Chain A
Amino acid sequence: AAGVIQSPRHLIKEKRETATLKCYPIPRHDTVYWYQQGPGQDPQFLISFYEKMQSDKGSIPDRFSAQQFSDYHSELNMSSLELGDSALYFCASSLGRGASGELFFGEGSRLTVL
């Protein structure tokens, strides 16, 4: 069965650079979520989108922005990268905005900021 696809899987950037992460949800899933997991930390909710509109917002820095496109894939843009942005970034998808079904996570994109 198709899963949530994230790219790139690994990314190395310098401080103050910009990074873009992509997420392709499970087919027919219309809601995507972004989570950030720092080293040794539990995942923290960043932002979610339903039907291409921002649905909910968590602890996402102002330097980060995200959007969901017409094909439901989503991109997380991170600018002015800081060392503390080094983390595993997860995308997840579900069908429908309400939590009536399971949430499925991708394998994550590991960002390292040097």
Chain B
Amino acid sequence: KQEVTQIPAALSVPEGENLVLNCSFTDSAIYNLQWFRQDPGKGLTSLLLIQSSQREQTSGRLNASLDKSSGRSTLYIAASQPGDSATYLCAVDASGTYKYIFGTGTRLKVLA
């Protein structure tokens, strides 16, 4: 059974820092991995989608990498801003049908 873990569970950093969020999954046979952002009580905003044949994706200050063999993905946030404060979730799709298994999330707080 696929299990997805995110470390750290919570992170507090000063504004301007570069940071890395980690996502680990137990079964390397995945189709996609997607990173989401969730603000308190709100919906999920897609950040980056990495398909199994890809190793990384970039969007603005965000860069996500995928290493299927080691069961890991990282989300790199450059020059963090207070507006980046949210919970970040990674989700793994093992079937190619978006039957996602979500990680436990990392609660990020960027201090002004």
Contacts and interface: CB of A to CB of B under 8 A. Distances in A.
B16 interface: no
A58 interface: yes
Contacts, number: 63
B83 interface: no
A99 B34 CA distance: 11
A103 B33 CA distance: 11
B97 to A, nearest CB: 5
A56 B49 contact: no
B89 A106 contact: no
A11 B34 CA distance: 29
A31 B102 CA distance: 19
B103 A42 contact: yes
Interface in B8-24: none
A56 B101 CA distance: 14
B54 interface: no
A99 B43 contact: no
A41 to B, nearest CB: 9
B34 A102 contact: yes
A92 B91 CA distance: 14
A56 B95 CA distance: 10
A9 B84 CA distance: 24
A108 B105 contact: no
Interface of A: 31, 33, 35, 42-45, 48, 55-56, 58, 88, 90, 92, 94, 97-108, 110
Complex A-B, nearest 7 residue pairs according to Cβ-Cβ distance, in ascending order: A42-B102, A107-B43, A105-B44, A102-B49, A108-B43, A99-B96, A99-B32
24 contacts: A43-B102, A44-B102, A45-B99, A48-B97, A56-B97, A56-B99, A58-B99, A92-B98, A94-B98, A97-B97, A98-B96, A98-B97, A99-B31, A99-B98, A102-B49, A103-B34, A103-B46, A103-B49, A103-B100, A104-B46, A105-B36, A105-B43, A108-B43, A110-B41
